[in-house]
Amino acid sequence: MSKILSDLNRQRLEIYLPRVSKPFLILLIIFIFLLPVITARNRYFTLVLSLIGIYVIAVGGLDIVYGFSGQVSFGHAAFYGIGAYSVAILSGLNGWSFWASLLVGVVAAAIFAIVIGWPSVKLVHHFLALVTIGVGEIVRLTFMNTTDITKGFRGIGEIPRPSIFGISLSNPVMYLYLVLIFAAVSVILKRNIGTSWWGRQFHAIRTNPTAAESFGTALIRTRTVAFALSAIFGAVAGALYASLITYVSPDTFTFAQSTLFFSMVLIGGAGTVGGSIVGVVILTIINQYGQQFEIYQGIFYGLMIIVIVVFLPRGVVGSLEDLYQDHIMTPVRRGGRGVTIVRDEKVSTVDDE
């Protein structure tokens, strides 16, 4: 009897969860786009929300490399910095429009990713991680030492906010809306990439690169494309960051920034649509509001990562997905004789003929 009730509850969840998830998603989207209005009087909270939106874009790009194609990268801050410095130099120092500067930054980051990715992706695991660390440091040192262009340690300030159809987005709330739109588009693009032909190629080389290559997947090309897509996401995020803070310096685009991005992927759940969002929200809140605890912030941060890696190896979202599949969907699909079928409000027991 208890088994029948358990199967019945699982089947009810299987039926009603898809029905509830869509309205919940719509309400969540409405709430997110009402947040700028709700928090308009709190400029600091508006700034934090903008930073969360920017990080969602950057971490989504890193998840394409790590979560989709299985490549470990600790140099994502390099692409983030290329986008930021493109806007700072072209828009802040030379009077270009934000949109033209953004386009140049995206193209430059993609080309750079292809140039360093084509020979690097032949390596795997910690070897590739070491190469990406080196690349990130080279880019940071370039920002630091090319003083004629990047102003070196002093950085570049007075970076203007973008405008649309002559309407300036200097107002923090208006700029937050711009960031949220970019973040929403990035999440949709990431989801579509994951379900596309390229996405299937990425998943194949992550699962078993040897088998994928034997079935015709061009291993080096596919990994390089993943790097290029990741760089585009990172450059867009960097461009938005430069206009948000209106100042950039080499100190922002360090190995610590790349580690933060990677931690967000791990905590949220690599290879999942919502994982990057959850990871960004958790760590950004801890970093911004945990500073008052001084050294205890770092202790809590480290313990949280250890706990999640040990007990939730696929991150928060990935572990929830596994829980749903293993304890709700799979037991129902394995049902045999005497399965309880639920349709709308009617419950009946059907035996196999």
Least confident of 21-25, 86-90, 107-111, 121-125: 21-25
pLDDT per residue as tens digits for the range 245-290: 999 999 999 998 999 999 999 898 888 888 889 999 988 888 877 7
What average pLDDT score do residues 209-237 get?
A: 91
For residue 338, what pLDDT is reported?
44
pLDDT per residue as tens digits for the range 144-157: 999 899 998 899 99
pLDDT of 309 higher than 80: no
What's the pTM value of the predicted model, to 2 decimals? 0.85
What average pLDDT score do residues 84-105 get?
A: 94
Q: Which residues of 179-202 are buried (b: 16+ CB within 10 A; e: fewer)?
A: bbebbbebbebbeebbeeebbebb
> What percent of the chain has pLDDT above 70?
83
For residue 344, what pLDDT is reported?
47
Q: How far apart are CA 325 and CA 323, in angstroms?
A: 6
Q: How far apart are CA 55 and CA 175, in angstroms?
A: 15
For residue 320, what pLDDT is reported?
80
**CA angle, 177 then 183 then 189, to 5°:** 140
Q: How far apart are CA 65 and CA 61, in angstroms?
A: 7
Round the average pLDDT of the chain to a whole number and report it: 83
Cβ pair 315, 266 in contact under 8 A: yes
What average pLDDT score do residues 94-99 get?
A: 91
Q: How far apart are CA 100 and CA 174, in angstroms?
A: 20
